[in-house]
Amino acid sequence: MIKHFAIDGNNREVNNNWDRWHCLHRCRTATFGCKSIEYRESDGRCQLSDKSRVDINPSLWNNYTEAYDFYERADCNESDSSVVRHVNITGSKYGMLVYDLPIQADNVHIEEAETGLYFAENSSGNSMTFRDSRISQTSENGILIKSLALRYLDMTGSVVDRAGQRGIHMEKNGLRLIVNNGTITRSTYYGIQAAYATFVLLDGVTFDSNYHHGAYFQYPLNISFTNCVFMKTDRENRYAVYIESMGSNYGASQSQITMTIKNSVFEQNSRHAIKVTTHYHNVNMFINIHNNLFRNNSDTLMDLDFYKGIDVLIEDNTIEYNSGSSNLIDLHPIYNRYDNRRVKSEVHIVGNEFLRNEGLTMVYLHPDNIANNRGTLTDNAFTDNVASQGIIRTTSGNYSMHYNILENPSSVYELYVAYDGDNIINATYNWWGSAVEAYADERIFDKEDAFNAAEVVYIPMLSGKVFTCFAVNNCSNHGECVRPDRCRCVDGWQGPTCNQVSCKQVSDCYGNGNCVGPNVCECTGGWTGETCADATCYNVN
């Protein structure tokens, strides 16, 4: 498509309110252009789709006309993405104002704009690639998303740095979005913030040194963090991840409400790593914290306050070299008088490794007295930790503990029962650092130590901390024997004998492919990429 125009003395088109610099800006930010758009000035040609390295001079156009001037892609028949490469944008109101997608942006640098990347409310299209680019020192948000149409934002190799407010702000309710890769650092407020989000997946995103919370989601339905990094959150009462009142927006969905954090790293945070609160609705919620690394943090790692109807799984995490004066895992099931008493919550802490940490406790289970909560601690290894109030501390008899390795000689107690009740805590088949029953008894604080404490049953005990798995083919050399004939499979394998391939670490190919090897996807139906999350249009030319 070619547009002819002539300009007047004010550098404005004679028959329109467009000016040349505004058009240049539009093209180079790919807001309303496509590859075939050209603009001719007088007898010459201004090839606005040229991806040159020339800086754009923002003083030569009126930024405040950006919101409504152009809808050029409606006349563009090309199916390919608009492409923007090697562009520097400085000092504008919006670095890129996006109405029409898809757009592929590479090596775009936006600096000192009011908002770096702005997805307008009535924009169309569902994906944008923003790779190897940088947004820095915006006075407001680095990326502002008002569009409900946007579904996928690829930020591979890109950085949002020193946003004056939020690194990414998802402003609209009901948003469904996948953000892939990228780094958000040194934001004045939050690394990312959203309210009433229906579904958000952050895959491979790094949050580094943001001033308030790294990731802050209010009243979400489904949130997933995969392969993310959270580091250097250090402000008082701030969190690397803060999920507030999860499930409050339940009326928007009747499916299970979930929060998943997996395959991620939490490191060098001097405040809480994960804080989750839930709404009091009697709904089916699931919190899954799986296969993460928590290292060198100095406050609570997981602080969960949840009402009935919420199941919690904390599984296969490595927790090492953390310190501080708090509980590393602090679980507080809450009673509400409007709860349906038939609804129960369950907590399962399985297969985690705690190594050389310091704190009040490693695990603190303290439900409200009449909260209907129960759970298990199984297959965990607690080694060389120092806890002033017991490695495991509980105020309820509804939790059972089996097949754990408890070997923490610098802590006074491995298990501390801090409640008076008739329920007997079942703590059989654990290793207490010795096969001698009298030694194990000394490692437990219960009714024998204080009349107002409950009783713990710990016999029979494990006779050692090394197990055999002959009956399950020694885990097929793809796993660890964590109890007699019980395997914990390494990444990429699953099943009782760890002989079946798994793609859990690549999000099970997002349902867009087949798992053909350990974390190897074979994509189908127009999808590509390591996780089959990248859409293609090969089948439509």
Q: What is the CA radius of gyration of the chain?
A: 28
Residue type, 244: E
pLDDT per position as a tens digit, 32-84: 333 333 333 333 333 333 333 334 444 433 333 332 222 333 344 444 567 78
Are residues 512 and 532 in contact, defined by beta-carbon separation less than 8 angstroms? yes
Strand-pair category, 353-355 with 493-494: unpaired
CA angle 144, 160, 235 (to 5 degrees): 95
CA 415: distance to chain centroid? 32
The answer to whether 185 touches 209, Cβ cutoff 8 Å, is yes
Say which DSSP state 126 is in: S
| φ, ψ dihedrals at 470, nearest 5° | -60, -40
Q: CB–CB of 91/112 below 8 Å?
A: yes
Task: Round to whole Å and give the CA distance between 14 and 271.
Answer: 60
Strand, helix or coil for residue 308:
coil
**Given the DSSP bridges, would you call strands 527-528 and 534-535 parallel, antiparallel or unpaired?**
antiparallel
Where do runs of H (alpha helix) occur along 335-400?
none
Q: What are phi and psi of 152, to 5 degrees?
A: -145, 125
Per-residue pLDDT of the chain (541 residues; tens, 9 = 90+): 334 444 455 544 455 544 444 554 444 443 333 333 333 333 333 333 333 333 444 443 333 333 222 233 334 444 456 778 888 888 888 888 887 777 888 999 999 999 999 998 888 778 899 999 999 999 999 999 998 889 999 999 999 999 999 999 998 878 889 999 999 999 999 999 998 888 899 999 999 999 999 999 998 889 999 999 999 987 777 899 999 998 876 554 456 789 999 999 999 999 899 999 988 775 678 999 999 999 999 999 999 998 877 899 999 999 999 998 899 999 998 876 665 555 678 999 999 999 999 999 999 999 886 657 889 999 999 999 999 999 999 998 899 999 999 999 999 999 999 887 777 899 999 999 999 999 999 999 998 888 888 899 999 999 988 888 989 999 999 998 887 788 888 889 999 999 999 998 888 888 889 999 999 999 998 888 888 887 776 555 5
Helix, strand, or coil (residue 63): helix
- With vertex at residue 179, the alpha carbon angle to CA 178 and CA 183, rounded to the nearest 5 degrees, is 165
Q: Residue 327 is which amino acid?
A: N
Are 361 and 392 contacting, i.e. CB atoms less than 8 angstroms apart?
yes
- Give 233-250 pLDDT, tens digit per residue: 877 778 999 999 988 765
Phi, psi of 345 (to 5 degrees): -115, 145
Phi, psi of 64 (to 5 degrees): -75, -5
The secondary structure of residue 54, as a DSSP letter, is P
Which domains occur in the chain, in start order? 470-540 (2.10.25)
Tokens 């908002």 map to which residue? 115
Q: Distance between CA 153 and CA 135 in Å, rounded?
A: 15
> What are the residues facing 493 on neighbouring strands?
501
**Distance of alpha carbon 334 from alpha carbon 303, whole angstroms:** 13
pLDDT tens per residue, range 185-200: 999 999 999 988 888 9
Tell which residue, 138, 149, 141, has the closest CA to residue 172: 149
